[in-house]
Structure 1
């Protein structure tokens, strides 16, 4: 499974898996049903148009296109989330240098994926 989109390891893991499977970026885009320019934006953190996929849709589609199965507990956690209200302020993509907030379910799913543990093993404490 690919690291969660917010992980610093996501871009390299996406590129490595795509290349391992012998897929071009456009072939990956077709398989994941995303715009042809997006794989480059996801793989190159140094590019000015760098982006991270949405966990509840594009990240899942990329995993499927690359032959990965996402564990049911992560699917369930993502399905319970209410979509984050993202106003279209930048032509359909998030503005540069803006950090999008995570829901608790997204955070738990990402931590579980990053550390290879079950979502039930993740506890989040918020202080403040």
Structure 2
């Protein structure tokens, strides 16, 4: 479980220009630390700017996608918190549990590990409903 400030990279003032290899290394670190299992998914960098999201998890293929363009507009700590958020999706999905942002299971696990939350209206309403 990771608590606020426990991200193993003290780079809040640096931009989130992070390599694929670094994202993979942090994914493995987070999954071992939070769940005791190695990360068996894939991370991809998609070269387009996203306005409404920072990353996404694709169930088909167990893929987490990031945009390096979008990452550069965030701090390194923000990018790593988003990675942890997407890894919560990955973990719940691979465990056969509901993994959408608006499910109780997702909200509870995100809180437990200290992951960020989606700003989407549906996810925010679910958070208010459950907590």
The two structures have a TM-score, normalised by structure 1, of 0.29
Greater CA radius of gyration, 1 or 2? 1
The structure whose residues are more often strand, as a share, is 2
The two structures have a TM-score, normalised by structure 2, of 0.29
